[in-house]
Amino acid sequence: MHAIGRQPQRAPDGAPLHYERHRPEQTTLYRLVQQHAASFIAHTEASTGADLPRFIKDEFDAFLECGILAHGFLRLRCGDCGHDKLLAFSCKRRGFCPSCGARRMSQTAAHLVDHVIPHVPVRQWVLSLPIPLRVLMAAQPELVTPVLQVVQRVITRHLLDDAGLSGDEGQGGAVTLIQRFGSAANLNIHLHCLVLDGVYRSGADGSPAFIEAGTPTDDELHALLQTVISRLMKMLTRRGVLVEDMGQTWLAEPDADGEEARTLRPLQAAAVTYRIAFGPRAGQKVLTLRGAMPREATARQPLCADIDGFSLHAAVRVEVHDRKRLEQLCRYITRPALSDERVQLNAAGQVELKLKTAWRDGTTHLVMSPLEFMQRLAALVPRPRLHLIRFHGVLAPNAKLRRLVVPRTPQVQEQGTEASAAAECEVETLQARPNRISWARLLKRVFDIDMQHCPNCGVGELKIIAAILERPVIEKILTHLGLDPQPPPRGRAREVERD
Ligand SMILES: [Zn+2]
Ligand SMILES: [Zn+2]
Ligand nearest to the CA of 15: 2
Over pLDDT 90: what percentage of the chain? 38
Taking the centre of ligand 1 as the mean of its atom positions, its distance from the CA of residue 141, in whole angstroms, is 23
Residues 250 and 111 occupy one common structural domain: yes
The verdict on residue 129 lying in a domain is yes
- Last residue of one domain, picked from the residues 330, 361, 393: 393
Which stretch, 11-20, 98-107, 215-224, 263-272, has highest mean pLDDT? 215-224
Give the number of the ligand closest to the Cα of residue 62.
Answer: 1
Give yes or no: residues 376 and 249 share one domain. Answer: yes
* Cα 117 to middle of ligand 2, angstroms: 37
CA of 79 from ligand 2 middle (Å) equals 7
Asked if the model's pLDDT at residue 8 lies above 90, the reply is no
The total number of structural domains in the chain stands at 2
Q: How far is the CA of 305 from the centre of ligand 2 (A)?
A: 57
- 403 is a domain residue: no
Over residues 28-56, mean pLDDT: 93
Question: For position 283, what pLDDT does the model report?
Answer: 66
Specify the pLDDT at position 374. 94
If you average pLDDT over residues 75-101, what whole number do you get? 87
**pLDDT in the model for residue 147:** 94
Q: Is residue 189 part of a domain?
A: yes
Average pLDDT of the segment spanning 431-456: 58
Taking only the tens place, the pLDDT of each residue in 191-224 is: 999 999 999 997 777 789 999 999 999 999 999 9
CA of 99 to the centre of ligand 1 (A): 6
Determine the distance separating the centroid of ligand 1 and the alpha carbon of 423, expressed in angstroms.
14
Q: In this structure, which ligand is nearest to the CA of 5?
A: 2
Q: Ligand 2 centre from 418 Cα, in Å? A: 22
Q: Which numbered ligand comes closest to the C-alpha of 453?
A: 2
Residue 367 shares a structural domain with residue 453: no
State in Å: Cα 445 to ligand 2 middle: 20
Write out the residue range of the structural domain in which residue 170 sits.
Answer: 98-393
Distance 321 CA to ligand 2 centre (A): 38
Contact 188, 181 (CB under 8 A): yes
Indicate which ligand has the atom closest to the C-alpha of 82: 2
Among all bound ligands, the one having the nearest atom to the CA of 63 is: 1
What is the whole-number distance in angstroms between the Cα of residue 100 and the centre of ligand 1?
4
Residue 497 lies in a domain: no
Instruction: Of 128-142, 145-159, 274-288, 417-431, give the range with the top mean pLDDT.
Output: 145-159
Do 301 and 368 fall within a single domain? Answer: yes
pLDDT band with cut points at 50, 70 and 90 for residue 436: very low
- Centre of ligand 2 from the C-alpha of residue 83, in Å: 5
> Which has more pLDDT, 241 or 230?
230
Residue 320 pLDDT class (50, 70, 90 cuts): very high
What is the number of residues in the chain? 499
Residue 495 belongs to some domain of the structure:
no
Do 154 and 78 share a structural domain? no
Among residues 393, 426, 442, the one where a domain terminates is: 393
pLDDT of residue 403 exceeding 70, the answer is yes
**Where is pLDDT greater, at 50 or 240?**
50
Ligand positioned closest to the Cα atom of 29: 1
Residue 82 CA to ligand 2 centre (angstroms)? 6
Which of the given ranges, 4-13, 21-30, 456-465, 469-478, has the highest pLDDT on average?
469-478
Q: Does residue 364 fall inside a structural domain?
A: yes
Distance between Cα 175 and ligand 2 center (Å): 41
Looking at per-residue pLDDT, the higher value among 275 and 99 belongs to: 99
The last residue of one of the domains, among 393, 424, 445, is: 393
Query: Does 63 score more than 70 pLDDT?
Result: yes
Ligand 2 mean position to 452 CA, how many Å? 10
Average pLDDT of the chain, as a whole number? 80
Same domain, 311 and 426: no
Please tell me the number of the ligand nearest to residue 96's CA: 1
**Residue 38 included in any domain:** no
Among 107-111, 362-366, 399-403, 474-478, which stretch is predicted with the lowest mean pLDDT?
362-366
Q: Which amino acid is at 495?
A: E
Q: Note whether residue 139 is domain-resident.
A: yes
- How many other CB atoms are found less than 10 A from the CB of residue 413? 9
Ligand 1 centroid–CA 249 distance in Å is 42
272 CA from centroid of ligand 2 (Å)? 51
Q: In the predicted model, what is the mean pLDDT of residues 393-422?
A: 67
Query: Which one is predicted more confidently, 494 or 95?
Result: 95
pLDDT-based confidence at residue 406 (cuts at 50, 70, 90) = very high
Which of 52-61, 207-216, 280-289, 475-484 shows the lowest mean pLDDT across its residues? 280-289
Q: Are 247 and 348 members of one domain?
A: yes
Q: Are residues 426 and 353 in the same domain?
A: no
Measured in angstroms, how far is the CA atom of residue 467 from the centroid of ligand 2? 20
My answer on whether 139 and 248 are in the same domain is yes
Residue 437 and residue 297 share a domain: no
What does the alpha-carbon distance between residue 225 and residue 313 come to, in Å, rounded to a whole number?
Answer: 9
Q: Are residues 260 and 148 in the same domain?
A: yes
pLDDT tens-digit readout, 290-314: 555 444 445 567 899 998 888 999 9
pLDDT value of position 13: 56
In the prediction, which pLDDT does 443 show? Answer: 60
Based on the domain organization, do 78 and 102 belong to the same domain?
no
